[in-house]
Amino acid sequence: MVPVDGPARSDRDHAAGRRPAARLGRRPTVIPRVVLAPDSFKSTLSAARAAAAMADGFRRVRPDVTTELLPQADGGEGTLDTVLAARPDATVRKTTVRLPRGPHEARWLMLADGTAVVELAECCGLPLLGTHDPGGADSAPLGTVLREARQEARRIVVGLGGSASTDGGAGCLRELGLRTTDHHGQTLPPGGTALTNVTTIDTTNLLPPPPDGVLVLCDVDAPLYGPHGAAIVFAPQKGANPALIQVLDNGLHRWADLLGGTPNTPGAGAAGGIAYGLSACWNAKTESGARYLTTLTGLPTRIAGATLVVTGEGRHDAQSYTGKITGHIINLAERHGVPAAVIAGSVTTEHPGVTMLSLTDLAGSPQAAMKTPEHHLRHAAEHLAATLPTPTT
């Protein structure tokens, strides 16, 4: 005898064009899906390694959970790696640039559509130049790469986060043919402090931008100068003391008076004012690096319907909500009604409804957290995994 809910009934329903009734008490299994989208942990872990450590932590506690690894960037460190993961048509190029410590090979990308992608952090970022000379740090290496990229690119996208300089892009533009002189007619030396002495700007030999223009990806929305500008807000992170900060701010103000453009536009102060310089001289357009790269990687569509989205960075503070990737991802999660969590090296700013985990707190000290960051990232992810709902059937 065939059971009434067995094949015979199923065949009869099919023949009558009816769908078999669902068995009482049975529901489709809902498997939690977690999106892991960290930024890099500056000078410690790449975004890809951070995402992998998080995934390992989730698997240890909840092997049933689906984890989707989508490492991110906001125009700063890791931008090239994010584009490489998202664009199989990208090919790596290398340009030798001059740094104070000697020659350095800076990577950049060419895409099949003729777009070059350049990352400032690869050319003259803070990890490369350090904080020993914040007044003399120069953006010239970025200009060297841009000069080479424009020879074959129709369009250039520049990720500007993580700079060591506060020179308004003067060094970068010098490599592109701009000449700046003081009241003696002498060429200005490198660095932001020299801008206080600039009297003449000569654009005669300035190379034109590529035919389809330049897009700069900003990770901050600061203006060029003033209390919220490049020098006062960001130069302290680059090693500048209060006296030097004021000199740098004055120099940026004088630079803008001579160069023109729109120094008060949000984002003009990105990368020590390089965004402003490229906008004024190369008509570069600015865009949020976080918005551009999350769209490129398809992150918004992956967040939709997820059980949880986890992001992270080295330091989560008030600046994380002024154009940085973590703040942008939290906003995306809120827009889609998805819970969000942040795992950061240190956490100094909370956000309503968002779980915050500090590696420093878990490890006991900043030094311990930085010594074995992947171990503590796994540990933090295990904490989050333990809070996930269990599958229902």
List the chain pLDDT tens, one digit each, 393 residues. Answer: 333 333 333 333 333 343 333 343 444 567 899 999 999 998 789 999 999 999 999 999 999 999 999 999 999 889 999 999 889 999 999 999 999 999 999 999 999 999 999 999 999 999 899 999 999 999 999 999 999 999 999 999 999 988 999 999 999 999 999 999 999 999 999 999 999 999 999 999 999 999 999 999 998 889 999 999 999 999 999 999 999 999 999 999 999 999 999 999 999 999 999 999 999 999 999 999 999 999 999 999 999 999 999 999 999 999 899 888 999 999 999 999 999 999 999 999 999 999 999 999 999 999 999 999 999 999 999 999 999 988 765
> Closest Cα to residue 39, out of 338, 360, 356, 293?
293
Label residue 246 exposed, middle or buried (CB < 10 Å: 0-12, 13-18, 19+): middle
Place of tokens 């050319």: 123
Tokens of 243: 């006296």
Query: Given CA atoms 317, 40, 282, 235 in this order, what sign does their dihedral have?
Result: positive
CATH number, span 33-70+298-385: 3.40.50.10350
Contact between 359 and 369 (Cβ < 8 Å): yes
DSSP category for residue 14 = H
Give the three-state DSSP class for 246.
helix
Within its chain, how far is the Cα of 138 from the centroid? 21
**CATH 3.40.1190.20 matches 79-290:** no
> Closest Cα to residue 237, out of 222, 253, 259, 254?
222
d(CA 39, CA 344): 10
Residue spans per domain, the chain? 33-70+298-385, 79-290
d(CA 291, CA 293): 6
> Closest Cα to residue 224, out of 183, 275, 294, 190?
275
Contact between 231 and 271 (Cβ < 8 Å): no
At residue 8, the pLDDT reads: 36
Which residue type is seen at 207?
L
> Closest Cα to residue 216, out of 264, 277, 129?
277
> Closest Cα to residue 380, out of 74, 45, 60?
60
> Closest Cα to residue 277, out of 206, 344, 345?
206
Contact between 211 and 265 (Cβ < 8 Å): no
> 0.75 cut: is pTM over it?
yes
Contact between 121 and 77 (Cβ < 8 Å): yes
